[in-house]
């Protein structure tokens, strides 16, 4: 029997707890409200766990992230003292949601749905607007890990021209999607009609999309950020939009979440804002995924983390 701590900031937290208790019925599941003996916790299943709790988990053996990202764990100051394996969710249901979200944003832009919304507001019949076919659109993906690849394959199968930037030399191409690295990133940026960022939040990706990056993009491009907020310099984006009236951005992640009411991003007519929902974690399949990895850990006594701490993802 293991002692498991569950913590999340999800709105449907209660439902998560119910599912976890059902799946891990042989184990003890604790939440903060029970004020458990933190020194006896073996496993943590968490999303946005506060550092003051992590600090107390001195006998923790493995941490499961309830999302694809692990920055909410490994950036905590106390993680340095703990450094146990961290497991992330890699799940096809999450990937499906990410693909649908990204495609919806592409279509809004590609089919000029923005203009129709604006026209409808003014009761204006603007008539047909010429639109590009998928094969005439080049999509540059930033990030080519599990989710990046899923999105790449999805879009490629729909006939878009997909090109991708990857940092790590672990990632191999798939469906002949051309891969770019730091050396020729500029070429990808210049050639893309749409850029989709699925980059993780690390020291190296902070402000990755900045003034210079934006200036290299096409004047009437679309930028979609579904990775992490810190990868985009929001001030640079606002200034860029000021100068480029036909540039669009669809943002799902932000420097500060929830996005503060004072942010200039809210009201910009060329920005679509969604509240960090592009790839929400699927309850049932995520818990199955965690449970299967946990089962192997219980059987073998070891578990290999998914995260390279030096790289930060
Ligand atoms: C969401 O942002 C996730 O990391 O799953």
pLDDT grade for 79, boundaries at 50, 70 and 90: very high
Q: Which CATH architecture has domain 92-273?
A: 3-Layer(aba) Sandwich (3.40)
Where do the structural domains in the chain lie, given as residue ranges? Answer: 3-91+281-300, 92-273
pLDDT at 232: 98
pLDDT grade for 163, boundaries at 50, 70 and 90: very high
What is the CA(273)–ligand 1 centre distance, in A? Answer: 16
What is the CA(9)–ligand 1 centre distance, in A? Answer: 12
Counting residues of the chain whose pLDDT is more than 90, the rounded percentage is 96
pTM above 0.75, yes or no: yes
Ligand 1 atom closest to Cα of residue 70:
4
Does the C-beta of 148 come closer than 6 Å to ligand 1? Answer: no
pLDDT at 201: 95
**Helix axes of 13-23 and 283-300: crossing angle, nearest 10 degrees:** 40
What is the CA(52)–ligand 1 centre distance, in A? Answer: 22
pLDDT tens readout for residues 234-265: 999 999 999 999 999 999 999 999 999 999 99
Ligand 1 atom closest to Cα of residue 281:
5
Does the C-beta of 67 come closer than 6 Å to ligand 1? Answer: yes
Q: Do domains 3-91+281-300 and 92-273 have the same CATH topology?
A: yes
Q: Which CATH architecture has domain 3-91+281-300?
A: 3-Layer(aba) Sandwich (3.40)
What is the CA(127)–ligand 1 centre distance, in A? Answer: 40
Mutation test residue for ligand 1: of 143, 227, 279, the one with most atoms within 8 Å of CB: 279
pLDDT tens readout for residues 262-305: 999 999 999 999 999 999 999 999 999 999 999 999 999 999 99
Q: Is residue 168 predicted with pLDDT exceeding 90?
A: no
Residue nearest to atom 5 of ligand 1 (CA): 67
Please give the Cα distance from 158 to 303 (Å, whole number). 38
Does the C-beta of 152 come closer than 6 Å to ligand 1? Answer: no
Ligand 1 atom closest to Cα of residue 253:
2
Give CB contacts under 8 A, 24+ apart, made by 218-221. Answer: 218/190, 218/192, 218/193, 219/244, 219/246, 219/247, 220/244, 220/246, 220/247, 221/192, 221/193, 221/194, 221/195, 221/247, 221/248
Residue nearest to atom 1 of ligand 1 (CA): 67
């Amino acid at each position: 029997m293991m002692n498991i701590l569950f913590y999340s900031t999800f709105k449907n937290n209660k439902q998560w707890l119910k599912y976890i208790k059902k799946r891990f019925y042989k184990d003890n599941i604790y939440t903060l409200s029970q004020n458990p003996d933190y020194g006896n916790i073996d496993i943590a299943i968490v999303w946005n766990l506060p550092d003051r709790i992590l600090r107390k988990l001195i006998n923790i053996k493995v941490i499961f992230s309830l999302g694809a990202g692990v920055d909410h764990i490994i950036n905590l100051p106390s993680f340095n003292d703990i450094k146990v394996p961290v497991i992330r969710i890699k799940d096809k249901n999450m990937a499906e949601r990410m693909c649908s979200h990204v495609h919806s944003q592409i279509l809004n832009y590609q089919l000029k749905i923005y203009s129709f919304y604006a026209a409808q507001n003014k009761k204006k019949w603007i008539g047909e607007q010429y639109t590009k076919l998928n094969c005439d659109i080049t999509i540059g993906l930033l990030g080519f890990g599990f989710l990046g690849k899923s999105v790449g394959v999805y879009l490629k199968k729909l006939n878009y021209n997909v090109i991708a930037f990857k940092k790590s030399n672990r990632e191999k191409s798939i469906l002949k999607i051309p891969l770019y690295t730091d050396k020729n990133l500029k070429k990808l940026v210049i050639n893309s009609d749409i850029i989709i960022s699925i980059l993780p939040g690390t020291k190296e990706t902070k402000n990755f999309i900045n003034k210079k990056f934006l200036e290299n993009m096409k004047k009437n491009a679309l930028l979609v950020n579904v990775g992490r907020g810190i990868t985009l310099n929001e001030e640079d984006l606002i200034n860029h939009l000021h100068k480029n009236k036909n540039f669009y951005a669809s943002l799902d992640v932000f420097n500060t979440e929830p996005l503060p009411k004072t942010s200039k991003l809210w009201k910009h007519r060329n920005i679509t804002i969604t509240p960090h929902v592009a790839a929400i974690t699927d309850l049932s399949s995520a818990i199955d995924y965690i449970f299967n990895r946990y089962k192997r850990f219980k059987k073998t006594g070891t578990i290999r983390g998914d995260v390279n701490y030096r790289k930060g993802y």
